[in-house]
Amino acid sequence: MSSPKKLSPPEIVARQLEDFYELRRQIVKILTPLNSYAEPSAAEYRELLDALQENLGEMEDAARQLHQFYRDAEDRLERVLKASSSVWTRPTGLKPAKIPQFTPIANRPTAPGGGKTRIVSFINLKGGVGKTTLTANLVAAFASGNFRDLDGRANRPARVLVVDLDFQGTLSQRCAEPLVLQGAYQKGLTATKLLDTRAEAKVAFDELTVPFLGLPNARLIPADESLDDKDVRRLNELASRRLETRFYHRIWFHKPEIFEKYDFIFFDCPPRLTASSVGALVASDSVFMPTAPESFDVNAVNRTMNWLGKTRKNLNLSVQFGGAILNRTNNEKGLTPLEEKNKNRIKLTCDDYRSFFEESREASARSAVLDAFVPRRSGANYINGTDGGALPGATLPCFHRLATEIYRRICQ
């Protein structure tokens, strides 16, 4: 005879709950007014009470097992996350001659605005800190010329490309026209293709871009759920040392014809380590980290900086740390004393890792946290001051200040 299947803690709890509901049904039946003329006997009460007590004891036991089960699961998850982050940061096995080249800024052809293209990633391993909101608004500020040049003069609208690297596609859904987006999804012309170099030979880069709502100078590479699957496959290939999967974005973006087309390329990264977020970092000149000005966000800053620093060092990347950006502050005009305190903690945390970035003297003299910040707005879902897409010129002054400070940091 086969032995009964061993139940998992969640199954045990489900079973206990079934028993509990059955008991409850019996009690309700006895106590409903229809049956109340038949007063239950003391023996019946006692029997029910005993059954209830037994059920309660078993449920407590099951709850303890469930608690332990989840703690074990959390430990396992933590180990998996640690293992996967070390996969991303480990040195490449490729010979130097085989590593796809990073074109130094000085060697790039002239971009439409007369300068050189800058590639920037917005990263924080914590979700919901405002990466997408800030990236979209910065696209709008740069593409509508709402930023100042190094001499403080008004700038011309810049040509901007933004790449959605989160399979949830928040940026795509907010900043592209739904029908156009649907078309791109149906044809598979999305950021998923960027994790495929064979696609590079078959798909023209421009086919991957769609218009950014309301901004004639900006374009967007959208993302959809297919990116999740591809990201995981690329992780497995790298982990099993079958394929070096971290240089694809460099291959796609470091091309003269792309540099000639865009002044700025922004990557909106997911709150996870994925083939896409690592790829963005490998292709970028600078990385900025949106964060909330709250004490419990310092841990995420620490984790993100640690990962950024290690990846940079182990892969010998050129990427510079642009700085942390405070989002969702309480006031428009300035920071509260508590926010100032947290800003300082964030700054000290970032400073611990800045040696990884081999900064120039000018860069290391700058604060690790930008002066410009973004206040919390009541309409929670705002992109560019609206609920939906971006409208030229509709950006809020806080984003003009932020764009100007970012421009100084990446172009000086």
Ligand X SMILES: Nc1ncnc2c1ncn2[C@@H]1O[C@H](COP(=O)(O)OP(=O)(O)OP(=O)(O)O)[C@@H](O)[C@H]1O
169 sits near ligand X (criterion: CB under 6 A): no
Contacts 24+ apart (CB under 8 A), 242-245: 244/92, 244/93, 244/94, 245/195, 245/275, 245/279
Tell me the sheet residues that pair with 211.
219
Task: Name the closest residue to Mg ion (Cβ).
Answer: 132
304 sits near Mg ion (criterion: CB under 5 A): no
Shortest distance in whole angstroms from residue 400 CB to ligand X: 15
Which partner from the list Mg ion, ligand X, none does 276 bind, CB cut-off 5 to 8 Å by kind? none
Shortest distance in whole angstroms from residue 122 CB to Mg ion: 9
Shortest distance in whole angstroms from residue 128 CB to ligand X: 4
214 sits near ligand X (criterion: CB under 6 A): no
Tokens of 112: 């439409």
174 sits near Mg ion (criterion: CB under 5 A): no
Q: Using CB under 5 A as the criterion, what x/- string covers residues 108-137 for binding Mg ion?
A: -----------------------xx-----
Name which position in 26, 55, 65, 170 contacts ligand X (CB under 6 A): 170
Q: Which of these ranges, 50-58, 183-191, 369-377, 403-411, lies near ligand X under the rule CB under 6 A? A: 369-377
Give whichever of 157 and 271 is closer to ligand X, judged by the CB atom: 271
333 sits near ligand X (criterion: CB under 6 A): no
Which partner from the list ligand X, Mg ion, none does 327 bind, CB cut-off 5 to 8 Å by kind? ligand X
Which residue spans within 174-214 are E strands per DSSP?
210-212
Name which position in 38, 106, 204, 380 contacts ligand X (CB under 6 A): 380
38, 67 contact by CB (below 8 A): no
**What CA–CA distance (Å, rounded) separates 243 from 231?**
13
Shortest distance in whole angstroms from residue 268 CB to ligand X: 7
**Range 195-211 burial, b when 16+ CB lie within 10 A, else e:** beeebeeebebeebbbe
At 356, is the secondary structure helix, strand, or coil? helix
229 by Cβ neighbours in 10 Å (0-12 / 13-18 / 19+) ranks as exposed
**Interactions with ligand X, residue window 74-133 (CB under 6 A):** 127-133
Q: End-to-end CA distance of the chain: give it in Å, rounded.
A: 77
Ramachandran angles phi, psi of 166, nearest 5°: -110, 125
Handedness of CA 204, 250, 124, 399 (dihedral sign): negative
Give whichever of 258 and 273 is closer to ligand X, judged by the CB atom: 273
Shortest distance in whole angstroms from residue 155 CB to ligand X: 24
- Counting every residue written for the chain, the total comes to 412
- H helices within 254-297, ranges in order? 256-259, 275-283
343 sits near Mg ion (criterion: CB under 5 A): no
Give whichever of 205 and 382 is closer to ligand X, judged by the CB atom: 382
Which residues contribute to the site for ligand X (CB under 6 A)? 127-133, 166, 170, 270-271, 327-328, 374, 376-377, 380-382
Site residues, Mg ion (CB under 5 A): 131-132, 170
